[in-house]
A and B are shown apart, each in its own frame.
Chain A
Amino acid sequence: MMMNIFQGKLVSLVAEDPQVVADAYAQWNRNAEFKRLLDAEPAMLWSAKKIKEWLEKEMEESEPKFFSFQIRDLQSGKMIGFTGLGDLEWNHGDGWVGIGIGDSEYWGKGYGTEAMQLALRYAFTELNLHRVTLGVFDYNPRAIRSYEKAGFKLEGRLRGEMSRQGNRHDILIMGILRSEWEMA
Chain B
Amino acid sequence: MDVKIPLFDGELVCLAPIDPEKDAEIESKWTYDAEYMRLLTIKPARPLSPAQVKKKYEALEKNEEEAKNLFYFAVRSRSDDRLVGFARIYWIWWTHRSGLVSLGIGDPGDRKQGFGTEALGMLLGYAFDELNLYRLTAVVPEYNQAALRLFENAGFVQEVRRREAINRDGRRWDCLHLGLLESEWKGNIR
Q: Which residues of A contact B165 (CB under 8 A)?
A: 89, 92, 94, 131, 133, 175
Q: Once bound together, how far apart are the Cα atoms of A129 and B102, in whole Å?
A: 27
Known: A91-B44, A92-B167. A156 touches B96 (CB 8 A): no
Q: Is B37 an interface residue (CB 8 A)?
A: no
- Check B166–A92 contact: CB distance below 8 A: yes
Q: Which residues of B contact A161 (CB under 8 A)?
A: 96, 98, 135, 137, 179
Q: Which residues of B contact A89 (CB under 8 A)?
A: 42-43, 165
Q: Which residues of B contact A48 (CB under 8 A)?
A: none
Q: Is B97 an interface residue (CB 8 A)?
A: yes
- Check B162–A175 contact: CB distance below 8 A: yes
Q: Is A160 an interface residue (CB 8 A)?
A: yes
- Check A93–B167 contact: CB distance below 8 A: yes
Nearest CB of A to B141, in Å:
10
Nearest CB of A to B23, in Å:
27
Q: Once bound together, how far apart are the Cα atoms of A163 and B164, in whole Å?
A: 30
The 0/1 profile, CB within 8 Å of A marked 1, for residues 157-169 of chain B is 0111111111100
Contact check: which of B42, B43, B177, B181 meets A156 at CB < 8 Å?
Answer: B177
- Check A157–B160 contact: CB distance below 8 A: yes
Contact check: which of B42, B163, B181 meets A159 at CB < 8 Å?
Answer: B181
Q: Which residues of A contact B98 (CB under 8 A)?
A: 158, 161-162
Contact check: which of B97, B163, B181 meets A163 at CB < 8 Å?
Answer: B97
Q: Once bound together, how far apart are the Cα atoms of A162 and B135, in whole Å?
A: 9
Q: Once bound together, how far apart are the Cα atoms of A94 and B162, in whole Å?
A: 10
Q: Is B95 an interface residue (CB 8 A)?
A: yes
Residue of A nearest to B95 (CB): A42
The 0/1 profile, CB within 8 Å of A marked 1, for residues 1-19 of chain B is 0000000000000000000
The 0/1 profile, CB within 8 Å of B marked 1, for residues 42-61 of chain A is 10000000000000000000
